[in-house]
Amino acid sequence: MAGTQSESATAPAKVTAGTLSKKEKRQIQFHDEARPKKLAHKEPTTEGLVQKAKELKKHRQSLPIFSARDVIIKEVKENACVVIVGETGSGKTTQIPQYLLESGLAAHGTIAVTQPRRVAAINLAKRVADEVGTPLGQKVGYSIRFDDSSSKDSLIKYMTDGIMLRELLSDRLLLRYSVIILDEAHERTLRTDILFGMVKSIQKQRQDLIEKGRRDIQPLKIVIMSATLDAEKFSEYFYNAKIMYISGRQFPVKILNTVEPQADYVDAALVTAFQIHQEEQQGDILIFLTGQEEIESLEKLIEEYAVDLPPSVGKLIPCPIFAAQDSATQQRIFEPAPLGTRKVILATNIAETSITIPNIRYVIDTGCHKSRGYNAKIGIESLLVEPISKSSARQRMGRAGREAPGLCFRLYTEDSFDQLEEDAIPEIKRCNLESAILSLKATGIDDVTRFDFMDRPSKSGLLRSLEHLYALEALDDQGNLTDIGKQMAAFPVDPPYAKVLLQSAKMECTKEVIEIISLLSVDSIFLAPSAKREEANEARQKFTSIDGDHLTLLNTLRAYESVKGDRDWCRENFINARHMRHVLDVRKQLIQFCERTCTPSSTFPIDPKKSCGHDLEIVLKCFLAGFFQNTALLQPDSTYKSILGGLTVSIHPSSTLFGKKREAIMYNELVFTTKHYIRGVSALESAWLPLAAPKYFGQRGA
């Protein structure tokens, strides 16, 4: 049962700063009243492997959801759709698929569990494979973009919502699945929303076929799982499906808001983490940040400061968690900290409801997250660091009270909390709909405006996305999918990248294009430690191309390969070796994809080995074929104005073209922080524009 959770606290109390030597001693004040100091401590277990399996069974039976096991099985067996609501950590994602498996519901097909995040899909599959007691990839597997560990025999399969949408292209009725569990429904990601409509229709189609006497077809069960209570909407949408509430276990969490607003929340999080470490009892810290870059910079800062901790204070070990990370590193966050030390987990909102990390007693909530948004005024999609909703703030707080009473340090004032929106707006209302439209059309839904959306996207948003797809030549004048569009829907990358790949086959530079797309799949391959910025910049000069970031990345990859990824070389050149390994992995996957599906006999054969040699200009032209909307022209006053929307954009300081004046530029990403920054920038000639996207520039009369 939920314990008491106070949303506010009153009397201000000082939390004194720790021994922070390299930086001026600073302290952050939080509102506080008498704080519970007597926190129970749970010793980490040190049992052997065999014992672990047994222990997991015990753990499974101790989860709040266990007492509802039989009821859940009964309800799913008796109903076509069930909505299950349960507090984060109660056991929904790891247990329910196993219950259904144990009750025979996988007899006629796999149980699929969709996740909005890749890291969560991998992690949960691993955990459940452990609990089931078979190696990962057999009975229990996962499938995410560029990484499939499932097999034909997998009975439980964790997958991203994006992968399920892609599977729909080859299995329109998802016949390989007997149960589809749409998890994290409360997040209302664009893809999960599209899946709601798809599986609803598939369930009906399968039922119709069964009624017509098709014996080879089995009914489809749908389970919707959510961590927040507002589940009526899901229930209404799924024919008033029954809602089951699983009560969780929650200890009281004390909330401490800052007295003053914090200008730099990363710095504030750093100071607060050390305050906690030096003043509070045992228990790990979880910090919510907005992205990989921030996570890595805080990780470094913590390491730097931790050196100066007095010997009487145990170590503080930063443990980052994000997508582009190898699984061994990721696993570390679940392992108990060595005795006398404390872990500080640095995460994005993946740790909000998707993944439950044990032993967290302290949460530091920056109050922000990165959200993909569509700026309707200028018609450009961008990544924005934005305030979270109240409901997210409550979820974050809850993470501190899973095993014992905890503390939640909010790096914002109580007033700021009051001003937050109650809930986040569903992505479908604010995002670019292009890949969703491609998926819908590719599965035979021609009139996307009449699709059974749970929340209808705005008409103008739909229209704009349709126009962009037309300009990308994925749709024809009638709005029907072209052959190019069909091919783009099958690619494991977003539509503009898919277009670039297709174009590369024509221009015979697929090798280079695949390499650059892989390089763009990580935040940055360059390290930029604040203390050694000059040195890092100098090192990067060696790879810099006058044409900008795309070719600079390519040069760097070539240099990296010429030394066979030597670690010392990476260190000397400030290259993020971890990211580089990820880049190579993505490249391998993309090459395999082309070899498997774009063979010489297909409509669009793509030879991933085809290289343009030294004529790299052609590579940029290829990118322009997908990113013609992300272009800007130099103005007489030396600023850049975007061609779409006429927005003044600034080249991000991390770009090789920062401070440079070129006639026209193309960029990979627009990020709004203090200005509209563009990242991944390359120079072009304006004469290339109409050639790269005749439909787009023809329409606009450019």
By beta-carbon proximity to Mg ion, the closer residue of 132 and 590 is 132
By beta-carbon proximity to Mg ion, the closer residue of 96 and 684 is 96
By beta-carbon proximity to Mg ion, the closer residue of 93 and 576 is 93
373 interface partner picked from ligand CDP, Mg ion, none, CB below 5 to 8 A per type: none
Query: What is the nearest approach in angstroms of Mg ion to the Cβ of residue 445?
Result: 29
By beta-carbon proximity to ligand CDP, the closer residue of 154 and 356 is 356
By beta-carbon proximity to ligand CDP, the closer residue of 93 and 250 is 93
Measured between alpha carbons, how far is residue 124 from residues 95, 178, 335, 514 in Å? 10, 20, 15, 30
Q: Which residues pair with 360 in a beta bridge?
A: 284
Residues in the chain: 702
C-alpha 27/C-alpha 56 separation (Å) is 42
Query: What is the nearest approach in angstroms of Mg ion to the Cβ of residue 93?
Result: 3
Query: What is the nearest approach in angstroms of ligand CDP to the Cβ of residue 134?
Result: 16
Tell me, by CB under 5 A, how many residues bind Mg ion. 2
Q: How many other CB atoms are found less than 10 A from the CB of residue 452?
A: 12
94 interface partner picked from Mg ion, ligand CDP, none, CB below 5 to 8 A per type: ligand CDP
Query: What is the nearest approach in angstroms of Mg ion to the Cβ of residue 231?
Result: 14
By beta-carbon proximity to ligand CDP, the closer residue of 94 and 382 is 94
Assign 82 to helix, strand or coil.
Answer: strand
By beta-carbon proximity to Mg ion, the closer residue of 92 and 511 is 92
481 phi and psi angles, rounded to 5 deg: -65, 130
Query: What is the nearest approach in angstroms of ligand CDP to the Cβ of residue 356?
Result: 4
Contact mark string toward Mg ion, 91..120, x via CB under 5 A = -xx---------------------------
367 interface partner picked from Mg ion, ligand CDP, none, CB below 5 to 8 A per type: none
Q: Shortest Cβ contact with Mg ion: which residue?
A: 93
By beta-carbon proximity to Mg ion, the closer residue of 93 and 349 is 93
Q: How many other CB atoms are found less than 10 A from the CB of residue 444?
A: 9
By beta-carbon proximity to ligand CDP, the closer residue of 93 and 656 is 93
**Does residue 84 contact residue 72 with C-beta atoms inside 8 Å?**
yes
What's the token pair of residue 484? 């190019």
Query: What is the nearest approach in angstroms of ligand CDP to the Cβ of residue 256?
Result: 24
Query: What is the nearest approach in angstroms of ligand CDP to the Cβ of residue 90?
Result: 4
Q: What sign results for the dihedral spanned by CA atoms 288, 292, 294, 296?
A: positive
Measured between alpha carbons, how far is residue 301 from residues 129, 337, 530, 655 in Å? 36, 19, 9, 23
91 interface partner picked from ligand CDP, Mg ion, none, CB below 5 to 8 A per type: ligand CDP
C-alpha 662/C-alpha 639 separation (Å) is 10
User: Residue 325: what residue type?
Assistant: Q
89 interface partner picked from Mg ion, ligand CDP, none, CB below 5 to 8 A per type: ligand CDP
What's the token pair of residue 278? 């030096």
| Binding residues vs ligand CDP (CB under 6 A) | 63, 86, 88-95, 123, 127, 334, 356, 358
Query: What is the nearest approach in angstroms of ligand CDP to the Cβ of residue 183?
Result: 7
C-alpha 551/C-alpha 490 separation (Å) is 27
By beta-carbon proximity to Mg ion, the closer residue of 156 and 411 is 156
What is the CA 246 to chain-centroid distance, rounded?
Answer: 27
C-alpha 642/C-alpha 382 separation (Å) is 13
**Does residue 360 contact residue 402 with C-beta atoms inside 8 Å?**
yes
What's the token pair of residue 662? 């070129």
User: Residue 193: what residue type?
Assistant: D
Of 57-65, 89-97, 561-569, 675-683, which segment contacts Mg ion by CB under 5 A? 89-97
**Does residue 622 contact residue 498 with C-beta atoms inside 8 Å?**
no
By beta-carbon proximity to ligand CDP, the closer residue of 249 and 486 is 249
Query: What is the nearest approach in angstroms of Mg ion to the Cβ of residue 234?
Result: 15
Query: What is the nearest approach in angstroms of ligand CDP to the Cβ of residue 89?
Result: 5
Q: Which residues contact residue 437 at a Cβ distance below 8 angstroms, ignoring those fewer than 6 apart?
A: 448, 462, 465, 466, 469
Contact mark string toward Mg ion, 46..85, x via CB under 5 A = ----------------------------------------
What's the token pair of residue 521? 């799949």
C-alpha 110/C-alpha 91 separation (Å) is 20
Is residue 504 close enough to count as binding Mg ion by CB under 5 A? no
Assign 556 to helix, strand or coil.
Answer: helix
Query: What is the nearest approach in angstroms of ligand CDP to the Cβ of residue 91?
Result: 4
By beta-carbon proximity to Mg ion, the closer residue of 92 and 652 is 92
User: Residue 668: what residue type?
Assistant: N
Query: What is the nearest approach in angstroms of ligand CDP to the Cβ of residue 94?
Result: 3
630 interface partner picked from ligand CDP, Mg ion, none, CB below 5 to 8 A per type: none
C-alpha 34/C-alpha 683 separation (Å) is 60
Query: What is the nearest approach in angstroms of ligand CDP to the Cβ of residue 123?
Result: 5
By beta-carbon proximity to Mg ion, the closer residue of 98 and 465 is 98
Nearest to 97 by CA among 112, 116, 85: 112
Q: What is the DSSP string of 486-552?
A: HHHHHSSS-HHHHHHHHHHHHHT-HHHHHHHHHHHTSS-SB---GGGHHHHHHHHHTT--TTBHHHH
37 phi and psi angles, rounded to 5 deg: -100, -20
Assign 79 to helix, strand or coil.
Answer: coil
DSSP 86: E
**Does residue 536 contact residue 526 with C-beta atoms inside 8 Å?**
yes
By beta-carbon proximity to ligand CDP, the closer residue of 88 and 292 is 88
123 interface partner picked from Mg ion, ligand CDP, none, CB below 5 to 8 A per type: ligand CDP
Query: What is the nearest approach in angstroms of ligand CDP to the Cβ of residue 56?
Result: 9
Kindly identify the residues of this chain, within the stretch 627-686, that bind Mg ion according to CB under 5 A.
Answer: none
By beta-carbon proximity to ligand CDP, the closer residue of 137 and 358 is 358
Query: What is the nearest approach in angstroms of ligand CDP to the Cβ of residue 116?
Result: 13
Q: Which residues contact residue 382 at a Cβ distance below 8 angstroms, ignoring those fewer than 6 apart?
A: 372, 373, 375, 669, 670, 671, 672, 676
Map tokens 């797309």 to a residue: 517
- List interacting residues with Mg ion (CB under 5 A): 92-93
